[in-house]
Each structure stands twice: as structure tokens, then as C-alpha cells.
A and B are shown apart, each in its own frame.
Chain A
Amino acid sequence: MKTISENTISDAVRELCIEAATKLDEDVKAAIKNAAETEESPLGRDVLKQIVDNYELAEEKGAPMCQDTGIAVFFVELGRDIKLEGSLEEGINQGVRRGYEDGYLRKSVCDPFSRKNTGDNTPAIIHTTVVEGDTLKIKFAPKGAGSENMSQLRMLKPAQGVEGVKDFVYEAVKTAGGNPCPPIVLGIGIGGNFEKSAILSKKALLRKIGSKNSDPELAALEAELLIGVNKLGIGPMGFGGIKTALAIHVESAPCHIASLPVAINVQCHADRHKEVEL
């Protein structure tokens, strides 16, 4: 049995926080560069060039690429053969406190009504599943509010079917317009129940850009939605253009015979995620 301490988790999370804020993953960089080359709007290309210059500068300086360094979201896979010394949650929260302080990241978490800042960007939002083996995998995805605020969840009628899902997606992207900092990535969770669809939509955002759902029908839906969204004309920052979304990822789960839950999680172009295995 492998033992992992709260301090080990804290150290790893501290690193994840700083690295995610300052370095974009290669799949996201490639998608943005591709958009910068293929966007038809001259202003859109100029915007995408600034976005590329920005992430390059951020990485070079070790500075946050966006001032909204987000609320800290974690998906944790805990191997059942691991003995935890101390608390997983406290280890993660401690790592967030240290990472946001040491990395000069913005603390963006507050009380919902008084708006008083908690001062250290905690509590983190942690989704944990227990899996086989003796590995602890921590996936971190800081989420800014500009895009999160444009996310939507709707309980469709089963009769609305896949057409209802598509209409909802187009409507949500049009309503969002330039607010979520397009080009965006959409995570779409279909089925399950109210909260399951939301978690699926967020998990869908963790997939590599350009990856396809293993179910051919869902992969086809992803491809169709991407073409449809990019025909809306919103473009980079909403200034008009053909590059509104970089990718659309759909995940699904069985649902109640009377329900068709659909959650759309909107992600900005600063699509930050990092993971570590302990």
C-alpha cells in the first residue's frame, strides 16, 4: 500500500496552480494558432495574434496569461490502494492557498452576498472518484467567470431530442456573444440528471482539443455543432468572424425516462488545465 501525505498533495497542487496560470497546453496553442491562420476577418486575425503574443509573453515571464486566474476546480482520481496521511481536501486547499500566493495569482473567491473575499482563493471545488490501483491523479482546471457566467443548464423534454440540444447550444453561444472571450471551447453534458449533466459538461472540457468522443454518433454531433457554431459569425472576441469555437466536446450518460438534461459549460480561449500523478 502506497502512502501519500497531505504535504505531498499540497506541494503538487501549488505547482499545478502556478503552471496552469502561466503556461497553456500545446493542444490549445495549436488550436489558437490554427484559428489565427484561418480566420477570415482581418480584425479577428489581429485579435488572435494578440492572444498568441500574450500566451507566449506570459510563459516567457512566468506571469498569468489572464488576470482572472479563476476559481480552482479539481477532478481527482484516487487509487483505492493508497493510504492517505492527513486529508485530501485539506492538502488540495493548502496547495491552492500557497500556489495563488506564491504565484502572484488573483484571489477571486468571495461570499455570494457580502462579496467579502475569502482572501486565499479557497475553498477549491473538488470532484473525487475512487479508482483501481495505487495512483493519485489530480487534474486542475482554473475557471474564470467571464466564460463560466455564460454557461447554461436546461432540462429539455425527451421529445425535443437531438434537435433540441442543437438549438439550445446555438442559442447559448449567440447569447454569450463576445462575453466569454471567444474563440471558446464548449463542454456539453447530455443526460444523467441535473447535477450529473453539469459535471459531464465540465469533464468534457478536460479532453484534449481536437479529440473525438469514442461514440461515432456523439463524435458526429460534435463535428456538426462545431461547424454550426462557427457559422454564427461571432468570431474572436465577438467582433465578427468564422472562428467562434476551437472545439466542442460532448459527453453523455443514461438519464431518467422523463428527462433530457443538457448542460453547456463555456470555456474561454485561455483554456487552462494541468494534471499530475502521484
Chain B
Amino acid sequence: MADAIKITPPFTDEVVENLKVGDRVSITGVIYTARDSAHKRLIELLEKGEELPFDIKGQVIYYVGPTPARPGEVIGSAGPTTSGRMDAYTPQLLDLGLKCVVGKGQRNEEVLDSLKKNKAVYMAAVGGAAALVAKSIKKAEVIAYDDLGPEAIRRLEVEDFPAIVVNDCHGGDLFKEGVEKYKR
């Protein structure tokens, strides 16, 4: 199999355009975490016309609610959660310039259309591989919604964070193509 493609956020249109379904990528740099409750709050801020707690242009949001960090560690186990629960919120964030979302499982048509329209990409990390993913996280800092505990928004510094391109900006869909190839 081909080597993983090394990328660092923020992503330009060009970086995203080069990513194709099934590519393995390795992200180094800063990414942000958010899941259900944090997304709800972000959208509420936008509806009130207020600023988001971080500039999302070109950035990556990773859907994760980690376990508490054990003594001497920066974060606990941190595998992806099911992305579909964020479908209702994602297009609005992509419209604002978010370039990449990382989770697990299928997205709905609205998200897929929005990825194409905004030249953005959906990646999956391996669900359940939470201790392994945590190894790539070198620093973690809560930047908003501390009261949400595991659901707070964190700024992560990652090194060689492993992900797989599931929906590229050209309309490719690994779930559809993969299943088509192996169904009997």
C-alpha cells in the first residue's frame, strides 16, 4: 500500500483537491475537537451573530470525546465518534471555511454536497483504536466549554495523526466504492 500523505493544517484548496478516496493521510500540526454539544453551541453562536472560539478557516475538526488523561499523559484514549450525529451542523461550518472533518461512519447527502461545494474533505480514523490515536496527540488544551467535560472543545497538537480519506471534494465515497467492490 502507498505511504501515508503527510499534511499540516490549515489546508488550502489545493491540498484538499489532491486528496482522493482511500488515501491514507498523516496529519501533523494543530487540530480542534468538538462533538454533539459543542457543535450545538457553535451553531447557536453563529445564529446570534457572535464569533466562534477559534478561527475555523482551513482547519480540521476531530469528532472525539476522550477519556480523562491519566497521570503524566496529555490526553486519555481518543478514538473517533460517529460522525452522523454532527450532520445537522457540518454544512454551516464548512460554509465558513472549515476544510476537514474527521470521525467515523457515513455522512448524509447535505454534508456530501457541502464537501464538494466548499472543497472540503471527510476523513475517518479507525474507530475503537483510541489508545493508538492518543499516541499521536502531543498536547491538548481546552479552549472552550470546559463545563462539557469530555465534550469540551480542545486544541490538539498532533504528530502523524492517522486518518483515511472517506469523502473527497470530487464526490468520491469510500463507503460506496468499498462496499461495491467486496459485496458478493
Residue in B24, B81, B124 whose CB lies within 8 Å of A68: B81
A178 and B105 contact, Cβ closer than 8 Å, known pairs A58-B131, A233-B183: yes
Which residues from chain A contact B69 at a C-beta distance below 8 Å?
104
Which residues from chain B contact A63 at a C-beta distance below 8 Å?
67, 70, 76-77, 131, 134
Interface residue ranges of B121-175 to A (CB < 8 Å): 124, 126-132, 134-135, 149-150, 162, 164, 166, 174-175
Q: In which size bucket is the chain B interface?
A: 35 or more
Q: B178 at interface (Cβ–Cβ under 8 A)? A: yes
Q: B53 at interface (Cβ–Cβ under 8 A)? A: no
Residue in A115, A232, A233 whose CB lies within 8 Å of B181: A233
B105 touches A240 (CB 8 A): no
B184 touches A231 (CB 8 A): yes
Q: A34 at interface (Cβ–Cβ under 8 A)? A: no
Chain A residues with CB under 8 Å of chain B are 40-43, 46-47, 50-51, 53-54, 57-58, 61, 63-69, 104-108, 115, 117, 145-146, 149, 177-179, 181, 231-235, 237-242, 268-270
Chain B residues with CB under 8 Å of chain A are 1, 22, 24, 36-37, 64-70, 76-79, 81-82, 84, 104-106, 124, 126-132, 134-135, 149-150, 162, 164, 166, 174-175, 177-184
Ordered by A's residue number, 28 sampled pairs between the chains whose C-beta atoms are within 8 Å are: A41-B181, A46-B1, A46-B24, A51-B126, A58-B130, A64-B67, A64-B130, A64-B131, A66-B77, A68-B65, A68-B79, A107-B149, A108-B65, A177-B106, A177-B175, A178-B105, A178-B124, A179-B105, A181-B128, A231-B183, A232-B179, A233-B179, A234-B179, A235-B182, A238-B106, A239-B166, A242-B182, A270-B128
16 further interface pairs, Cβ-Cβ under 8 Å (given A232-B179, A233-B184):
A50-B162, A51-B128, A51-B129, A58-B130, A63-B134, A64-B76, A64-B131, A67-B150, A68-B81, A105-B68, A106-B150, A178-B124, A179-B84, A231-B183, A238-B178, A241-B178
